[in-house]
Amino acid sequence: MLTLSAKFRQSFPIVHAMAKRRISDFEGFQKVLNNAKSIIVLTGAGISSESGIPTFRGEGGWWKTYRSADLATPQAFQSNPALVWEFYNYRRHVALNTHPNNAHKALSEYEKKCKSEGHHLAIITQNVDGLHKRAGSENIIELHGNLFKTICTNMSFRDPNVKDDSLPVVMKEDLPKCKKCNSLVRPYIVWFGENLDHEVLRKSRELVESCDLCLVVGTSSVVYPAAMFAPLVAQRGMPVAEFNITEEPADNSFAFHFPGKCGTTLQKALGIELTL
């Protein structure tokens, strides 16, 4: 479990932002943004839903006659790898037939601005659809993997292996094999019941403990350990700004809350003007 280092616990007061939180305060946020040198952006399903990516958790998370969450497990892959691969081919097909929206694009453009000014912006995403990369972002940590990569079930070899948007029904004898050892490969996804990659978690922790501004975009912050990241930033006394469709903030310690579609609120907050 991610814990705040002792030096940060000692150095920063806990922010009680209930009285300080500002709703849709774009001017106030931009003053904070202009002074930030190291920014992290935590993104979740809400940012991709505006591109048409369905949410595979919750009430709508069904595929054919299966609950999607039941297929996203090591046990499901062990018992029926062909079915799980067919499900993930469907998810790849959906992702390849959508496009980055204005929220993805605004983050990409602001990352370029930060780079030109000697500042740093990194995205830590729970999404596996690759839309941040397609929008042009570079500093991306994918907490839960990537739909377009595979990992060998017998070794740690990872490989991007999807080149088109076809949607075949996967026969068991035709399941993808490792290029190095010919063992069965699986989607490079962190499934329910599995731990995050150690190196991915380490890099995320370093960013959480060193940033001076955190943006939470399109996530309800209920999946751990990602759900702890923004509150830990707030505990260090650093501002957190939430961009979400909901009217109520996910955490009362966040300094700013911008309700509405992320594609609209985020580009306004970042001062990015996108051309069609």
Q: 238 to each of 119, 139, 253, 255, how far by Cα in Å?
A: 16, 21, 10, 9
Q: Is residue 144 among the annotated active site residues?
A: yes
97 annotated as ligand-binding? no
Is 240 annotated to bind ligand? no
Residues 6+ apart with CB under 8 A from 230: 42, 214, 216, 221, 240, 242, 251, 254
**Would the annotation count 55 as a binding residue?**
no
246 annotated as ligand-binding: yes
Specify whether the CB–CB gap between 71 and 247 falls below 8 A. Answer: no
Q: Is 216 annotated as a binding residue?
A: no
275 among annotated binding-site residues: no
- Is 264 one of the annotated binding-site residues? no
Catalytic one of 93, 144, 198, 257: 144
Does residue 267 contact residue 273 with C-beta atoms inside 8 Å? yes
At 98, which amino acid appears? T
Residue 52 marked ligand-binding: no
- Is 244 flagged in the annotation as binding? yes
- Cis bond before residue 225 (omega within 30° of 0): yes
The pair of three-digit structure tokens given for residue 63, joined into one six-digit string: 């595929």
Tokens 């939180």 map to which residue?
21
Residues annotated within the binding site for Zn(2+) are: 152, 181
Q: Give binding residues for NAD(+) as ranges.
A: 126-129, 218-220, 244-246, 262
Known binding-site residues for substrate equal 88, 91
Q: Could you list the active site residues?
A: 144
Binding-site members are 88, 91, 126-129, 152, 181, 218-220, 244-246, 262
